[in-house]
Structure 1
Amino acid sequence: MIARLQALTAESRATFWRSLQTLNVTRVVIALVLLVYLSFDGHGMRASGQYLFLQICLLYLGLAVIFMLSAVFVRRRFVLQLLSQIACDLVIISLIYLAAGGMRSGLAILYLFPLAGLAILAPLVVALFCASLVTLFLLGDSTWQIFLTDSDRDVMQAGLYGAAFLAAVLVVNRLAAKLIGQEELASRRGVEINVQQAVNRLVMANIGDGILVVDEAGQVVAGNPAAQQMLGLVGAELNFMLSAAAALAPLSHAYREWRDDATRSTAVLTIKPFNDTALQNLTAAWDVRRDVVAHLKVRFAAADTHGLGAERSVIFLQDVTGIENQAQQLKLASMGRLTASIAHEVRNPLSAIGHATSLLAEEVSDPVQQRLLKIVGDNVARVNRMVEDILQLSRKAQPHSGPLALDVFLADLRSEFIATHGLAADILALTVAPGTAVRFDALHLREVVLNLLNNAVRYASGGPASIGMTVVRTAAGRPELHVQDDGPGISPEVRAHLFEPFYTTSSKGTGLGLYLARELCLNNEARLDYEYRFDPQDSADGRPRLSGRFVITFAWTV
């Protein structure tokens, strides 16, 4: 019995002690009920019997109180306490039974209380042994009464009581054993679940990849610290809609695409948390991490919640910035080894070909031959431009980053760009506050902006204000230049490789323009990214519209 109790878990042993305490409380109630019984039916006893009955009941009440306090303050030796209490119950109930007149008093039913408690808290053999003792006592007393009264009715009643006690002990013990087994199983399963949850929390807290849990509507319900770090949500409460955060628009868009088409379960995104007016009440972490850019590989998976009434999806985030940097460093290292040979082995023959083509064009009058010479000249110029771009990668020119009047610079650049490309005067809209100054090398900024405008002209519709240059300030006071057009947005597949060297979607491009533009911005302590922002002024229905644009975040103003 002791070994059986020790094999149980702490929760099950605590249940045994609570059951014992319940038994003690019941014992006190029975003692009080017996006193009330004496006050109402005591006239049927002799005076000596009433006095003996009263003394036994008071003794039983006192022992019941002692047993109850012992189970509360002395939580050890459970088996000893249980058996001693049951022994006292059987002895005192037997005395009360005899003092009240035996079987005719009807108090034999009191034996059911300690026997049922013993059947619950003790092994079946012990409970059946005590029930057998009670049955033998009842039969012995009834048999003795035959010699005194010549009536055998008490023997039959004693036999029925004994059979009922044995059956009750057997049934209660089996039911209790089953319940204890179920409780023990539930307790062990609870321990396993708690351990698994602790392991899950440890893994979630220390894993390098970010994890977000969202519902079917895109409501974020949980996430690990890595996801908070990647998305700029450190210290923020993860309880918001993905679509409500402009900086997370690429992630929200990819999530909606996956919901519509389960085959699009992976994507590579660029996320830049920033302080947007739409996010002012979301978290202060956006302002703290306004310059952090995360290049993330995203994978979506649906949790198996069938039949639970709640749908959950998991977004796995992997920061691939380091991998991209390593890949670019490998590319640049290879290009560095080629630049020395390119200068002599490629550039000099190109110059010779270009010069010979120019001389030949002066002597040729046939239109077909002139067209062929023009094709040669255009391709020579293209290869020469590629060589210049590659050579520029190896030069880390020191910028002359003095104060630059951005309003004057952009106005002059706008006029020059419109005249050079023969564009309509209203195609390029410029919005900049007078007196805005930044710290950026003028030649570098000119090259960066021209690169962005050339891309915009390629995809813009050509209508009024189809290309825009807008200078705004962040909540922290840093100026930003937004360059955007009304053409189709950049797809997630292209965004994943937008600033990689030699990646291009144009047959005439070298794939180095945006990469060089970003490098020039970094040399001037600025940053170039492609982002989604709200455009309240462009919304036809009065609701803010998200649109993509290139954003140059300048260094602190001077």
Structure 2
Amino acid sequence: MTARLQALTAASRDTFWRSLQTLNATRVVIALVLLAYLSVDSRGLRGQAPYFYAQACAAYLALALGFAVLTAKLRRRFLGQLLLQIACDLALISLLYLGAGGARSGLAILYLFPLAGLAILAPLVLALFAASLVALFMLGAALWQIAVLDADSTLLQAGLFGAALLAAVLVVNRMAAKLIGQEELAARRGVEIGVQQSVNRLVMAHMSDGIVVLGTDGQVYAGNPAAQQMLGLAGDSAFPLDALPALAPLARAYRDWLADPALATAFLTIKPYTDPALQEVTAAWSARRDLAAHLKVRFAPVETEGLGVERSVIFLQDVTAIENQAQDLKLASMGRLTASIAHEVRNPLSAIGHATALLSEDLDGPVHTRLLKIVGDNVARVNRMVEDILQLSRKAQPHSEPLALAGFLAELAAEFQDTHALAPGIVQLDVEALAARAGGAGEGGQVRFDALHLREVLLNLLNNAVRYASGGPASIRLFVVGGKGRSPGLELHVQDDGPGITPEVRLHLFEPFYTTSSKGTGLGLYLARELCLNNEAMLDYEYRFDTAAQADGSRKSSGRFVITFARPGA
């Protein structure tokens, strides 16, 4: 028994000692009940041997109190204390049993208390041995009463009591053994779960990828430090994902995945540090000046079958470094080709263009004109590609004079419509609201950006918009959003009503030589972003909710190019 007790966990050993203390408390209660019964009994037990009965009950109460104090003060030799207490119980109950007249007194039921305690806290052999001694004692007492006292036969009653005690000991011991085993298993599993939780917390805290746990209703329940940094969150407080406008692209992608599990991966741009709802929430506002986080998002359901709750996990990976690395690799190889391209391609290209121009003077047939136009167009395309490649090796130096954005945009939009012969109203420019939405940036929305560089960037974006827009009224929009609080400066949005750019294409959108058009070189957007960076601005393609609500009250999400300008006084 001692070895068995030592093999248990500390929690299970404490349970044994608490059970022994409960046995002591029950013993005190039984002694008090017997004394109370003696005080109100006018016949029966009191008439048999009242003085002896009172002394036995008082001694039983004294022993019960002594055992309770001993168990509380001395937690050693558990089996020895248990056997001593059970032996005293059986001895005193046997004296009461004999003094009360044997089986007819009904005190045989008192044997159940110490025997059940022994069955719970001791091995089955000891419990059955004690129950057998009690059964033999009751049978012996019945035979003695018949032989010596010539009393009525109580042999059958004593035998039935003994058999019942043996059966009760067996059942109680088996049930106790099963419960002890389950408690021990639960304790071991609790330790394993605690260790696993500690490991999980350590892994999540040191992972570079973000992890967010949320419900099907969009309620965020937990997130690791990487996710908090990427999304601009603070602490582990629960909140609905839709409550933060900056996280609207993530909320939309999550809803799309719930509707269609095939959309388990998406590429998003999150700008948490430009969200007024998140200002002053975390210390990262004072240290981090990132304009955007380019994230690869993967959704996965949590297996909670039968638990009554549903949870999902969002894995976030910041792909900004990957994008920059891919661009650096391409630029490194491209830099080695720039010089040879300038000499080996440009000179023959000029000769071909000159020869084509001479031929066009002598050949005026429709077929000849069409063929010469094809040659000329392809010469111009190759020449433009060469010019773009050569620009990559030149670091353009911007002029630092402030630029009045309102007048510049109005002039550029008018010129662009005339150059492309666009119908009035196709390019919609929100100039009137620019000063009001400038956020205090100055009259006319002054920004720090070189005028020639901004012109080249916007012409590139507008040319792409014309290519994919429907051509209807206001199919191309240019409007300004003013920064607030600690967010960056003004934002210029270039939006069209075309099909938009998918998240998969968005991942490679600003990489050099990446294009989805057969007529493009794949360098326009890359050069536009580089010019923005030279002017301390940022160009990105973002998925935003439109400010105007639809008829049903909902807001439509659409993609657009966003130029975030640096503050004029920064």
Give TM-score, length-normalised by structure 2. Answer: 0.90
Q: 2:508 aligns with which of 497, 510, 529?
A: 497
Deviates more, 1:211-220 or 1:473-482: 211-220
User: For residues 362 and 51 of structure 1, what CA distance do their matches in structure 2 show?
Assistant: 145
Q: Is the 8 A contact 2:356 2:372 kept in 1?
A: yes
Q: 2:490 aligns with which of 479, 498, 505?
A: 479
The residue number in structure 2 matching 1:549 is 560
SS in 1 for 2:295: strand
User: For residues 311 and 347 of structure 2, what CA distance do their matches in structure 1 show?
Assistant: 63
Per the TM alignment, residue 48 of structure 1 is displaced from its structure 2 partner at its CA by: 9.7
Q: Is the 8 A contact 1:479 1:557 kept in 2?
A: no
Q: Is the 8 A contact 2:232 2:282 kept in 1?
A: no
Per the TM alignment, residue 126 of structure 1 is displaced from its structure 2 partner at its CA by: 0.8
User: Does residue 1:130 correspond to 2:130, yes or no?
Assistant: yes
User: For residues 45 and 106 of structure 2, what CA distance do their matches in structure 1 show?
Assistant: 14
Q: CA RMSD of the aligned region, Å?
A: 2.6
Q: 1:469 aligns with which of 454, 461, 478?
A: 478
User: Using a 3 Å threshold, how does the CA distance of structure 1 residues 234 and 401 change in structure 2: closer, same or farther?
Assistant: farther
Q: Is the 8 A contact 1:223 1:238 kept in 2?
A: no
User: For residues 422 and 46 of structure 2, what CA distance do their matches in structure 1 show?
Assistant: 126
Q: CA offsets per residue over residues 103-156 of structure 1, 9 Å max, x none? A: 443222211110111011110111112122222333333333334312361444
The residue number in structure 2 matching 1:11 is 11
User: Using a 3 Å threshold, how does the CA distance of structure 1 residues 474 and 165 change in structure 2: closer, same or farther?
Assistant: same
The residue number in structure 2 matching 1:23 is 23
The residue number in structure 2 matching 1:425 is 424
Deviates more, 1:360-369 or 1:283-292: 283-292
Q: 2:446 aligns with which of 415, 422, 437?
A: 437
User: Using a 3 Å threshold, how does the CA distance of structure 1 residues 428 and 538 change in structure 2: closer, same or farther?
Assistant: farther
User: Does residue 1:519 correspond to 2:496, yes or no?
Assistant: no
Q: Is the 8 A contact 2:53 2:96 kept in 1?
A: yes
User: Using a 3 Å threshold, how does the CA distance of structure 1 residues 281 and 325 change in structure 2: closer, same or farther?
Assistant: closer
Q: Is the 8 A contact 1:235 1:285 kept in 2?
A: no
SS in 2 for 1:483: strand
Matches within 5 A, 1:106-505: 106-151=106-151, 153-235=153-235, 237-241=237-241, 243-276=242-275, 279=277, 291-431=290-430, 432-433=434-435, 434-476=443-485, 478-505=489-516
User: For residues 188 and 236 of structure 2, what CA distance do their matches in structure 1 show?
Assistant: 36
User: For residues 237 and 460 of structure 2, what CA distance do their matches in structure 1 show?
Assistant: 40
Q: Is the 8 A contact 2:273 2:279 kept in 1?
A: no
User: For residues 87 and 245 of structure 1, what CA distance do their matches in structure 2 show?
Assistant: 72
The residue number in structure 1 matching 2:440 is none
User: For residues 426 and 549 of structure 1, what CA distance do their matches in structure 2 show?
Assistant: 19
Q: CA offsets per residue over residues 256-285 of structure 1, 9 Å max, x none? A: 4433443333333333324346x4699668
Q: Is the 8 A contact 1:481 1:551 kept in 2?
A: yes
Q: CA offsets per residue over residues 311-349 of structure 1, 9 Å max, x none? A: 333322222222222221110000000001111111111
Q: CA offsets per residue over residues 464-510 of structure 1, 9 Å max, x none? A: 32222222222236211111122222222221211111111211111
Q: Counterpart amino acid of 1:387?
A: V
Q: Counterpart amino acid of 2:123?
A: P
Q: Is the 8 A contact 1:112 1:165 kept in 2?
A: yes
Per the TM alignment, residue 10 of structure 1 is displaced from its structure 2 partner at its CA by: 2.4
Q: Counterpart amino acid of 1:316?
A: F
SS in 2 for 1:525: coil
Q: Is the 8 A contact 1:535 1:544 kept in 2?
A: yes
Q: Is the 8 A contact 2:38 2:46 kept in 1?
A: no
Per the TM alignment, residue 157 of structure 1 is displaced from its structure 2 partner at its CA by: 3.1
User: For residues 392 and 366 of structure 2, what CA distance do their matches in structure 1 show?
Assistant: 39
User: Using a 3 Å threshold, how does the CA distance of structure 1 residues 531 and 326 change in structure 2: closer, same or farther?
Assistant: same
User: Using a 3 Å threshold, how does the CA distance of structure 1 residues 107 and 268 change in structure 2: closer, same or farther?
Assistant: same
User: For residues 158 and 98 of structure 2, what CA distance do their matches in structure 1 show?
Assistant: 14
Q: Is the 8 A contact 1:531 1:549 kept in 2?
A: yes
Q: 2:520 aligns with which of 506, 509, 515?
A: 509
Matches within 5 A, 1:44-123: 44=44, 49-123=49-123
Q: CA offsets per residue over residues 409-449 of structure 1, 9 Å max, x none? A: 22222222222222233222222214321111222111111
Q: CA offsets per residue over residues 210-239 of structure 1, 9 Å max, x none? A: 223333344433332222222222436343
Q: Is the 8 A contact 2:221 2:237 kept in 1?
A: no
Length, aligned pairs only: 556
User: For residues 83 and 329 of structure 1, what CA distance do their matches in structure 2 show?
Assistant: 82
User: For residues 273 and 46 of structure 1, what CA distance do their matches in structure 2 show?
Assistant: 87
Show structure 1 runs of 5+ residues with no match.
none
SS in 2 for 1:371: helix
User: For residues 387 and 305 of structure 2, what CA distance do their matches in structure 1 show?
Assistant: 60
Per the TM alignment, residue 50 of structure 1 is displaced from its structure 2 partner at its CA by: 2.0
SS in 2 for 1:316: strand
Q: CA offsets per residue over residues 36-72 of structure 1, 9 Å max, x none? A: 1111225546789322322221222122223223333
Q: Counterpart amino acid of 2:348?
A: P
Q: Counterpart amino acid of 1:488?
A: P
User: For residues 375 and 319 of structure 2, what CA distance do their matches in structure 1 show?
Assistant: 41
User: For residues 35 and 257 of structure 1, what CA distance do their matches in structure 2 show?
Assistant: 76
User: For residues 40 and 490 of structure 1, what CA distance do their matches in structure 2 show?
Assistant: 94
User: For residues 271 and 419 of structure 1, what CA distance do their matches in structure 2 show?
Assistant: 36
Q: Is the 8 A contact 1:266 1:297 kept in 2?
A: yes
User: For residues 208 and 310 of structure 1, what CA distance do their matches in structure 2 show?
Assistant: 28
> What fraction of aligned residue pairs are identical, expressed as a percent?
71
User: Using a 3 Å threshold, how does the CA distance of structure 1 residues 94 and 212 change in structure 2: closer, same or farther?
Assistant: same
Q: Counterpart amino acid of 1:315?
A: I
Deviates more, 1:219-228 or 1:335-344: 219-228
User: For residues 132 and 551 of structure 1, what CA distance do their matches in structure 2 show?
Assistant: 91
